[in-house]
Amino acid sequence: MLTIDEVKHIAKLAKLNLTDDEVKMFQKQLSSILDYVKQLDEVDTDNVAPTFQVNKNVKNVFHKDGDEAYNSTQKISKKNALRNASNHNDDYFVTEAVL
């Protein structure tokens, strides 16, 4: 079972402000999920070859939005890219250092 402090730490990493009731609720839910995933430890994988590439034969997918087709080669304006950023400085995203 996850501790209250572990749930608060996870919430902080996800930048979520949780009430005490929500922390208790997520403590139970996240612990249940981890217990379920822990079942994978019981699977015998001794005779299973490692999989290094699971995206074999994947093709680029384009979608239509209205009359315009969008793909990975189209550019987005700096203003639109930064529109939902929680923190930015001029034309740059501001993030915590990752070392």
Query: Is 70 a residue whose pLDDT tops 60?
Result: no
Query: Is 80 a residue whose pLDDT tops 80?
Result: yes
Per CATH, domain 4-42 is 1.10.20.60: yes
Q: Which two tokens stand for residue 20?
A: 């005490």
pTM attached to this predicted model: 0.50
pLDDT at 67: 47
> 25 or 76: which carries more pLDDT confidence?
25
Domain boundaries, the chain: 4-42
Mean pLDDT taken over the chain: 86
